[in-house]
């Protein structure tokens, strides 16, 4: 009777994955071991060596790790002195290794003078004091009628006329007299850290310049003042901002020459948290 021939088993095309998985696992274990010993930590290293003692009959733990002896070339002593640098980033302090980033933190900076004045204006009294200081400085320089003042919900508003004072008519280059005026004002503004808004305004008369409008002129004038405050007098630029409002925030009627003159101005707003909605009533409106 003929024996039935056994059919050969089908070849498993995925057998290689078993070997591949073993290799990857071994490599991962190898790199984890390298990472573990890459951190030069004596305690961790000793634990690692002790784990190999039984497998490889390693007696390094009981006999010490490379303490020096006849088997080492020039092995008189390989123990660094206190404070010497061994492996990069390691120092020996009191006989124990320590990392640079484990060293004591630097001493804190000395405390600020508790008697130093608070340079941030908050209250209506602060704003009135600044207004009086500005008035006195302008009066001493014979510019007593140049600025006008108003305290509103934003803070102290210092308004300076533009025509013939800060700028020539229709121009945005600060005049010599304008630089002198800003030279009186800027040192006072530098004495505190409040935000300062520089706002340009014009009257409603159109400019005789195609494509260049009152918007442009008011913004350029505000920027010109800001640049003087920052570049010449060193007021922090983070405190400054410039805006042009054109003819759309008038102080007076544009129907009269006097009203148009009052509307052509640059205002510097010293922003303060007054927390008092009745400040304009308490302080009053504008004054010279």
Q: What is the pLDDT of residues 47-90, one digit of tens each?
A: 666 766 666 665 655 555 555 445 444 444 445 444 444 444 44
SS (H, E, C) the chain: CCCCCCCCCCCCCCCHHHHHHHHHHHHHHHHHHHHHHHCCCHHHHHHHHHHHHHHHCCCHHHHCCCCCCCCCCCCCCCCCCCCCECCCCEEEECCEEEEHHHCCCCCCCCCCCCCCCCCCCCCHHHHHHHHHHHHHHHHHCCCCCCEEEEECCCEEEEEEECECCCECCCCCCCCHHHHHHHHHHHHHHCCCCCCEEEEEECCCCCCCCCCCCHHHHHHHHHHHHHHHHHHHCCCCHHHEEEEECCCCCCCCCCCCHHHHHHHCEEEEEEECCCCCCCHHHHHCCCEC
Closest CA to 52 of 67, 37, 40: 37
The torsion angles phi and psi of 244, rounded to 5 degrees, stand at -110, 125
The packing angle between helices 124-140 and 176-189, to 10°, is: 140
R_g of the chain computed on alpha carbons: 40
What is this structure's pTM? Answer: 0.56
CA-based angle 224:246:248, to the nearest 5? Answer: 145
- Asked if residues 128 and 283 have their Cβ atoms less than 8 Å apart, the reply is yes
Mean pLDDT of the chain: 77
Mean pLDDT of 135-153: 89
> What's the pLDDT band for 278 if we cut at 50, 70, 90?
very low
How much of the chain, in percent, has pLDDT values that exceed 70? 62
Looking at residue 4, its pLDDT comes to: 65
Write down all domains in the chain, each with its CATH number in brackets. Answer: 20-64+80-102 (no CATH), 124-283 (3.30.1330.60)
Instruction: Specify the pLDDT at position 45.
Output: 64
The contacts of residue 203 (CB under 8 Å, 6+ apart) are 214, 247, 250, 254, 259, 260, 261, 263, 264
Backbone angles phi, psi at 247, to 5 degrees: -100, 10
Token pair 């006097």 is found at: 258
Tens digits of residue pLDDT in 149-205: 999 989 999 999 988 889 988 889 999 999 999 999 999 999 999 999 999 999 999
List the structure tokens of 202: 């014009």
């Amino acid at each position: 009777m003929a024996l039935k021939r056994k059919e050969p088993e089908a070849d498993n095309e995925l057998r290689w994955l078993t070997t591949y998985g073993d290799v990857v696992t071994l490599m991962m274990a190898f790199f984890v071991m390298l990472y573990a010993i890459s951190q030069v930590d004596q305690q961790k290293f000793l634990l690692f060596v002790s784990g190999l003692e039984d497998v490889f009959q390693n007696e390094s733990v009981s006999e010490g790790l490379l303490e020096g002896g006849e088997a080492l070339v020039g092995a008189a002593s390989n123990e660094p002195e206190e404070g010497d640098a061994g492996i990069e980033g390691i120092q020996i302090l009191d006989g124990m290794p320590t990392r640079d980033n484990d060293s004591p933190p630097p001493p804190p900076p000395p405390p600020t003078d508790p008697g130093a004045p608070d340079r941030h204006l908050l209250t209506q009294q602060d704003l009135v004091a600044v207004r009086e200081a500005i008035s006195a400085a302008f009066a001493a320089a014979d510019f007593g009628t140049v600025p006008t003042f108003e305290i509103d919900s934003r803070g102290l508003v210092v308004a300076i006329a533009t025509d013939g004072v800060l700028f020539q008519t229709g121009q945005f280059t600060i005049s010599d007299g304008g630089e002198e005026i800003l030279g009186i004002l800027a040192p006072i503004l530098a004495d505190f850290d409040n935000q300062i808004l520089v706002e340009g305004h014009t009257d409603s008369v159109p400019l005789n310049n195609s494509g260049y409008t009152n918007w442009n002129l008011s913004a350029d004038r505000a920027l010109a003042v800001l640049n003087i405050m920052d570049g010449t007098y060193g007021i922090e630029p983070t405190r400054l901002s410039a805006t042009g409002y054109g003819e759309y925030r008038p102080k007076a009627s544009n129907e009269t020459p006097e009203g148009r003159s009052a509307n052509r101005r640059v205002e510097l707003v010293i922003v303060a948290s007054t927390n008092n909605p009745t400040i304009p009533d308490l302080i009053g409106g504008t004054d010279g």
